Amino acid sequence: MSQTSHGIGGLSYDAKKRPWPAEFNVFLALVILVAAFELVGRVFLGDSFLFNTRENVAGIFNEQRLQIIILQVSIVGIIAIGVTQVIICGGIDLSSGSIVGATAMIAMSFAQVATVNGNPNPKAMFIDYGWTDLPVIVPLLVAVGCGLIAGLINGLLIAYTRIPPFIATLGMMVTARGIAKWWSKGQPISFPTDSFAAIGKGLMPVFIFISLAILFQLILTYTKYGKHCYAIGSNEAAARMSGIKIANHKVLVYVIAGILASIAAVVLSSKNLTAQAGMGVMYELDAIAMAVIGGVSLSGGRGSIIGTVIGSLIFGVIISGFTFLRLDAYYQEMVKGVIIVGAVVLDQWRQRRRAVGA
């Protein structure tokens, strides 16, 4: 008998022939993509994509490029962690980019300094009230509060009025963008305190992204909440019959997504030292794209945070690769569109193949 058999009722099962986890394929795609850019770079430009080719810089890899790639994706990546949970649960969230904009504006207005270079801060929103140089916890709590309220409204609409998530979050997308513009009548809000500016400094966004990714990967794998996300996305009727409180769970999922978007807003506005009403435009679609590229199924029930993280890296490598090949930014946008549609087509194809195989 096979030593790997652990079936029930006398049926043997060879654990070695277990199918690969889907994340492995996504990782493979990342490796192939990097290799392709490396090859094209070597042949046509005589330069390396991945490795360090300069004499005056130490190190094997082109660390500068790698840092840019991961820094570029980490802020949208934070949003994508929330979006992944929403999609696994069978929903969609189009509002995250606008939540970033609104939260950045509102939080930043509580993080401003009173004086800039000895002069009163010209951009300070609440200088008349004396709300300047507040401890960093104030803008942080304000930000989390904004994300929580936005997510709560999304969740309550979806769970109790039963309107499609697409419509509910589309409404929130437009409304939150309106709030972002209204808050300072379209003016940018700048000059944050040092402690607020420290949140997004250097590689901090990467650190925050990775920590949150690990936290939520563990939550999705090892907690009731995670199990119920997959169950609801997989078969909502079955989940309801099993006694899972679907409405409560959906509200919680959208609240978490809203809070993650607001964390992204803090990191982004801190990194840029300013908040603008146009911040986060299209981030929701980038985040959805990262999730879908990472193997999260738009029909719900399948995917993981690890997959989304690898998906975000693929996203970053493509953008960085285009810059490396000295192609115009216009092409980047066009290709991004193709990738988003392509990833969904791939997902559909995977599902059909699975259905035929079953």
Partner 1 sequence: MSDIVLKTENLTKHYGGVHALQEANFELRKGEHVAIMGDNGAGKSTFVRQITGVEQRTSGKIWFDGKEVSFAGPIEAREAGIETVFQNLALADDLDVPSNLFLGREKVLFNLGPFSILDRKAMRKATEAALIRTAVKIPNLSSTIRHMSGGQRQCVAIARTATFASKLIIMDEPTAALGVQETAQVENIVRTLKENGEPLILISHNMRQVFDLVDRIVVFRRGKIVANLRKQDTDGNDIVAYITGAKTGQAELQAA
Binding residues (CB under 8 A) for partner 1: these are 6-13, 15, 18, 219, 222-225, 227-228, 230-231, 233-235, 237-239, 241-244, 248-249, 252, 301-302, 354, 358
Cβ nearer to partner 1, comparing 12 with 53: 12
Task: Give the separation between CA 232 and CA 288, rounded to whole angstroms.
Answer: 19
C-beta of residue 283 within 8 angstroms of C-beta of residue 337: no
CB of 61 to partner 1, least distance (A): 37
Q: What is the dihedral of CA 99, 105, 107, 112, to 10 degrees?
A: 160
CB of 162 to partner 1, least distance (A): 17
Nearest by Cα to 269 from 67, 82, 99, 115 = 99
Cβ nearer to partner 1, comparing 6 with 201: 6
* SS3 label, residue 274: strand
Cβ nearer to partner 1, comparing 174 with 215: 215
Q: What type of residue sits at position 60?
A: I
Residue 268 tokens, joined: 């982004």
CB of 1 to partner 1, least distance (A): 14
CB of 301 to partner 1, least distance (A): 4
C-beta of residue 111 within 8 angstroms of C-beta of residue 192: yes
DSSP structure string for 180-206: HHHHTTT--EE-B-HHHHGGGSTTHHH
Cβ nearer to partner 1, comparing 279 with 306: 306
Nearest by Cα to 324 from 42, 54, 76 = 42
CB of 300 to partner 1, least distance (A): 8
CB of 88 to partner 1, least distance (A): 9
Cβ nearer to partner 1, comparing 85 with 132: 85
Cβ nearer to partner 1, comparing 143 with 255: 255
Q: What type of residue sits at position 166?
A: F
